[in-house]
Each structure stands twice: as structure tokens, then as C-alpha cells.
Amino acid sequence: MTRSLLIDDGLFETRAALMRDDQLEELHIERPQEISRVGDFYLGRVAKVMDDLDAAFVDIGKNETGFLQARDIARKNDGIGSLVHEGQKLLVQVIKDPLEEKGVQLGCHFQIESANLLYQPKGQKVAISKHIASKEDKVRLVTALEPKLVSGGLIVRTSALTVSKNILDAEISRLQKIWDDIKTREGESQTPRRLSPHQTPLDRILSDLLQPGMEVRVTTSVALTNVVSFAKKHFRDEETKVSLWKGSSSLFEESGIDAQIETALDKRIDLESGVSITLEPTEAMVVIDVNFGGNSPVHGRESVALKSNMVAASQIARQIRLRNYSGIIIVDFIQMSGPGDAKRLQQHMEKLLQQDPVRTRMIGLTELGLMQITRQRSKRTLHSLMKAPCPICQGAGCQDSPTSAMASLLRSLESHTRHTAGSEIEIVVGLKLAEQLALSQSRMENHLGRRLSIYEDADLPYLAFSIK
């Protein structure tokens, strides 16, 4: 099993694909104007205490207010009025990005994450993931990590079992250095402001995904330089293999990632086993339905049902992570009647969900046989990043978001320039895309080294285009 990181660094968005062998495990999309702030620290000032909500609004600077609940300050049942008061300075951390009309959600249970560790500045010990069962492994990890912990506490993730002590040492040093820098900036600040350094889309992706020993492929020389610099700074002597993609087609297309992204945006997935999975996000929850296909065998139906559910469970766990579903997730598996089938399916699903770096919990089965899962929300879903409500159907359907359309156009133009000569490219575009192009035409021409001749076609869908 090999893990690799593929980075498509563009003008409008930077996409990163975390691969396990040839399968897409996670897709991160970061845009300059929409970089996730989950985990960032701010010096805030309590603007208003809301006793009826058991929460407070906190000014974090630049005319922005975040929402802080009492339970995210103290774990005991103290009311918000006994925890903070208006005008109080407060160090806070973003735990959820803004969503639609909701601002950022803040917390004071500070934690700084790396690939294998979770550092808690207010903690006091080394805690081992409950999924590490071996007593020998627990003792080995605690013995190795405790001497490196200057202050605070650590939670050791299951993935730490498979990495070297040098990697874990480097991660601890990096996490403690981040906290030290935050505390220094807090002491130097008087007014509400951001304390975490501002990041580029590539910075954020490397912080979230890059691990020592990974094979990394990038599409630009700038990204290549940044990855090498990041690895040298944070991973010491652990080798990170970084290469510049020079293929004739795009990196994501050649690696099969674009096709896997399209599947992750589909409502229905058909598996080779004849089973279909339907995934339906709603306002209240995500509903997932598993069904036999038309060619399902009829003999031995009980064992076939379990086998089909086990296969579906693997794909469901993968899609939950890839699509970044969160909140309540309900799965309606194929009905089983074999003795012990439900227990085996639950154990299998729970094991799959343990591999998710986002906090995910398998609650169990309801009386109706529906599997209940909860997953912590932090970032936007893949669908909301790549799609926008259609103005024509008033949200009943969807189309590419303007940023996704521009990024897609740029990738097509880059491919066009690799395969054609000349100093000019003619593009026919829909009206909405023409508006977006007008704002970025000069940047794109400089990037491509070609002049763009743009023709509007009112008969084309708003964000459609064709290259002459």
C-alpha cells in the first residue's frame, strides 16, 4: 500500500488529491478567497453574552464576529454568564468555518493537529487512541513520546503505529512550536486580531495533508519549491519525494482523479457486485440507501445480503470522507436475516470509520434496522465547493460554481496550449462566464503566454465554453 499526494496548483484554486494506491481517498480544494480557517487562533473580545442561548458572540477583528458556546469553553455544566463577560479578552480557536448565514464557530478546547498526533496545550498526559489495543504498543508509544512533551497533552492516533520515532518527534516539535508562536503573538496583541499566520491555498494543503515519506507530484515549479521547503523545515531527515508533472495531459486526468471526482458528485453509485448506493444530503441529515441491482442472485439471499452490505459499507465509508459529509448520517442497508449478520456489519463499518481523520462515530442500528453515524463538521462539502444553485431552476438543480467553471476553463486552455501552436486562442463562452473572464483575462493571458479572443454566445448555458 502506497500513499501519494497529487497537487494541481492553479490561479483560481489549488486541488490536492490524497491517494491510497490508485484510489482517491481525500480531495482538498483551497481558493485564495475561501481558505479554511479551522484550527486558526484569534485574540477575541466578548461582544455580547446570550444567556438564553448559553453562548456568546466574540469580536475577532476586521468587523467579524464568531459564535462561542458554553460547552466549547468548559466541559462542566457552567452557564455562559459564569464563564465570560462582555469586554473580556479571550484566546479562541476556529472549530467550524462559516456556513451560509452562520459565521465561524469558536472554541477554547485548543488542539493542534498533525498526521499522527493531536496536541492539546491544556492537556496533561499522553493518551493513546482506543483503537490501539495492544498493551505493548501503548507502552512503547507513551515511553517514546512523553520525554519530548514539554507541556500540555497528546492524543496519539492509530496511524502512529506505522511511522518511525523520528517522524513522531518531528511532529511534536512542530506542534509545540506552533503553540509557542501563538502565545507569543497573544502577549504582543491588544486588540482583536488573527494570531495564526495567513496561509496560501498551498500552505493550507501542505499543513493538512503532507506527511514524511510521501511521494508528491505537483504541476508548477513554484509548488515544487514550496513543498521541498516545507518538508525540509518540518520533517528533518525524513525523505519526501517531490516531482514536477510534465505529462502531455493534465495530472488529475492522467491519474484518473477527475473521473473519481465526477463519481463523488453523483447521487447514485453502481458497484460491480450489482449493488447500488444512493446518497441524498438533506437539511437535517444525509440519507444513504443500499439496494440490490436487477442482476442480483436469488439463491442464498441471506449470505448474499451480508456480502453485498459489506462491499457497500467500504464504498460508503470512502464516499462519506471524500464528499465530506457531516452531522447525522443514516444508512439503510439491504435487509439481512442471518444470525449475527447485523453484528458483523456493524463491526465492519466501525472499523472502516476508524480510518477517517475527522471525528466519526458509529452509533448503531435503530429498531428499523437503520445504521446511525455522526461525523464532525468542519469544512464545506465537496458538492458545495464545486456546485452552485442554478438560477434558472431556482435551486432545484445545480451547475458548476463560477470559480469551478473558471478553473475548468483554465485547465482546458492549458491542455490546448500544450497541443497547439500559435499566439491566439479563440473561446466561445456563455454570458456568465464572459463576465468572469473579463475580470481575469490579462492574468490568464500572462499565465498561458497566448492572447485570448472571447466571443459571447447567448444560446450557451451561462457557464459553458468551447475552444476553437
CATH classification at residue 354: 3.40.630
310 and 332 both lie in a single domain: yes
Q: What integer pLDDT is reported at residue 459 of this predicted model?
A: 86
281 and 303 both lie in a single domain: yes
CA distance 60 to 65: 6
CATH number of the CATH domain containing 423 = 3.40.1260.20
In a domain, 148, yes or no: no
15 and 72 both lie in a single domain: no
Whether residue 346 contacts residue 359, with contact meaning beta carbons closer than 8 Å, is answered with no
Q: What integer pLDDT is reported at residue 300 of this predicted model?
A: 47
Domain-terminating residue out of 54, 81, 107: 107
Domain-terminating residue out of 241, 265, 289: 265
In a domain, 353, yes or no: yes
Q: What integer pLDDT is reported at residue 293 of this predicted model?
A: 66
Q: What integer pLDDT is reported at residue 394 of this predicted model?
A: 60
Averaged pLDDT of the chain = 90
462 and 448 both lie in a single domain: yes
In a domain, 143, yes or no: no
- The closest alpha carbon to 465, from 404, 417, 422, belongs to 404
- pLDDT < 70 positions in the chain: 1, 236-238, 293-302, 391-397
Q: What integer pLDDT is reported at residue 392 of this predicted model?
A: 64
25 and 49 both lie in a single domain: no
In a domain, 153, yes or no: no
CA distance 151 to 231: 25
Containing H/E element for 455?
A: strand 451-456
261 and 304 both lie in a single domain: no
Residue carrying the nine cell digits 499566439: 423
Q: What integer pLDDT is reported at residue 170 of this predicted model?
A: 84
Domain-terminating residue out of 246, 265, 284: 265
CATH number of the CATH domain containing 220 = 3.30.420
273 and 347 both lie in a single domain: yes
Residue 340: other Cβ atoms inside 10 A = 9
Residue carrying the nine cell digits 453523483: 266
Q: What integer pLDDT is reported at residue 294 of this predicted model?
A: 53
59 and 94 both lie in a single domain: yes
Q: How many domains does the chain have?
A: 4
| Cell numbers linked to 213 | 515519506
Q: What integer pLDDT is reported at residue 299 of this predicted model?
A: 44
Q: What integer pLDDT is reported at residue 359 of this predicted model?
A: 86
- Over residues 22-62, the pLDDT tens digits come to 899 999 999 998 898 999 999 999 999 999 999 999 999 99
- The closest alpha carbon to 12, from 386, 436, 403, 452, belongs to 403
Q: What integer pLDDT is reported at residue 298 of this predicted model?
A: 40
Whether residue 228 contacts residue 163, with contact meaning beta carbons closer than 8 Å, is answered with no
Burial class (CB in 10 A: 0-12, 13-18, 19+), 104: buried
327 and 274 both lie in a single domain: yes
Q: What global pTM score does this model have?
A: 0.81
Distances (CA, A) of 448 to 195, 218, 248, 410, 424: 37, 18, 15, 9, 10
289 and 356 both lie in a single domain: yes
Domain coverage including residue 309 = 266-375
In a domain, 445, yes or no: yes
CATH number of the CATH domain containing 87 = 2.40.50.140
In a domain, 155, yes or no: no
Q: What integer pLDDT is reported at residue 238 of this predicted model?
A: 67
Contacts of 300 (CB under 8 A, 6+ apart): none
Which residues make beta-bridge pairs with 42? Answer: 92, 194
Q: What integer pLDDT is reported at residue 396 of this predicted model?
A: 64
| Cell numbers linked to 240 | 519526501
452 and 394 both lie in a single domain: yes
Q: What integer pLDDT is reported at residue 52 of this predicted model?
A: 94
314 and 287 both lie in a single domain: yes
- Over residues 77-86, the pLDDT tens digits come to 789 999 999 9
